[in-house]
Amino acid sequence: MTSVQTQRYTRENPNRVCPYFHRVEGQQARMVKIYAKGPDDQQWFVYDVEQRQLAIALQPWQVNDRKPATLRDRIRFREVLVDRALLPHWETEGELRRTLREHGLLEPIETISRAKVKKLAEEFANYRHELIGEYAILVANLDRLRRRGEMIANSDSPTIKRLTRVHTLLEESEPILKELLKDREDEFSKELVANGRNRTAEKLKEIRKIFSELNSEFVNIQNDQIRAKMQYRLSIYDQNVERAIAFLEERTTQEVRKRIDAHGLLEDGTGVSTIEENRIPPNTAIEIDPLGIYSILRNLRDNALQAMLDAKKYEDIRIIGEKVDGEIRISVKDNGTGISPENLPRVFERGFTTKPEKNGHGLGLAICKRIMEDHGGRIEVQSEVGKGSTFTIILPIAQGS
């Protein structure tokens, strides 16, 4: 036989916080609900101990009129608990305190503004946009290999199944942070936002695991040049995914920066084959995230190459590095199609491109701009239609250099 023992709010009980117990005959009673009257006396808070969920009710003992609590409700609930629940009014006060502590109900609720959550979602959308473009290039390259007989890539092959999984993970990563904004809240709890970040990061980490498996498959490509190209493309994609993960996990570029000699920057890992002039004095130190800066240079080089191919001009890309007024300036110049005056102010906007969708790849200029700003630097552009473009990244010289 089951019996229920309750302690309800009465005029004689000024505490207004009431634990509700469920007792099964022969067993110790367990706390299943906590009722608390709101500070305005117009509503009740009903906390489900087992489900760890808070609801709002006009009458605490009625089930049908309850509605989910907002963040503001949760903050007010905590204020009621801290204000009243610590006063010793019941024999069960010790157990109530223990339950409140275990559930973190007495801890301050850290919040983040809606504007910041929106910016977070937009920033990740930028990363995702570039990852999808890179994915399209990877699939196109594999399709060319399949048609040339360099590798097996039919619908049942492990390669295609892995790529299909990558596409699915990219699709699933999009709505997680956007879902938060569907609630018409002015603020969100940092815990809730962190949970959204982590869930998204886990999907990207699975993509990196798949890349490792794909890299093992590319080893079997017989043509050395094609194998190297595919592994290089995969490594760039992997680096971009890692950068997106670092963004979600709030790992700043400061955490991964290294002090390096700027003179060797152009010749170390950029993949740039032609350097017109390196005027940077030796032993000029800069503190950078090498992966981020190398990725920017690769991206600018690839954009310059595409611009010249579009203009049917097959000349060298000019890379010029120099030290000017306490800064390092690296310029990537092409004599390609150029950028029209109406498009020039928009080239660093998220999602803006003049390329066909299938040709969009690399980091994207919006992310390049953000990486430079994270370094305390900037990126500039000069362009003239029919004559070409010059993109310049500017980095501060390290102290003591």
Q: What is the pLDDT of residue 270?
A: 43
Asked if residue 360 lies in contact with residue 301, where contact means CB atoms within 8 angstroms, the answer is: no
For 224-239, the DSSP string reads HHHHHHHHHHHHHHHH
Spatial separation of the C-alpha atoms in residues 361 and 377, rounded to whole Å: 23
* C-alpha distance from residue 28 to each of 13, 20, 23 (Å): 25, 14, 7
Asked if residue 379 lies in contact with residue 367, where contact means CB atoms within 8 angstroms, the answer is: no
* C-alpha distance from residue 234 to each of 227, 241, 248, 348, 379 (Å): 11, 10, 21, 25, 26
At 86 the three-state DSSP class reads coil
Query: What's the pTM value of the predicted model, to 2 decimals?
Result: 0.57
- Helices and strands in the chain, H and E counts: 8, 15
Asked if residue 45 lies in contact with residue 85, where contact means CB atoms within 8 angstroms, the answer is: no
Q: What is the pLDDT of residue 218?
A: 78
Long-range CB pairs of 82-87 (<8 Å, 24+ gap) are 82/106, 84/15, 84/16, 84/17, 84/36, 85/15, 85/17, 85/36, 87/15
Q: What is the pLDDT of residue 391?
A: 96
Q: What is the pLDDT of residue 385?
A: 93
Q: What is the pLDDT of residue 132?
A: 84
Token pair recorded at residue 339: 């950028």
Alpha-helical (H) ranges within 19-157 are 71-80, 93-102, 114-147
Mean pLDDT per 10-residue interval, the chain, length 401 residues: 43 58 71 80 85 84 78 81 58 68 79 84 81 80 72 67 88 84 75 86 92 81 76 78 84 68 68 66 88 80 85 82 93 92 89 59 72 91 93 92 69
With b meaning 16 or more CB within 10 Å and e meaning fewer, what string describes 64-74?
eebeebbbebb
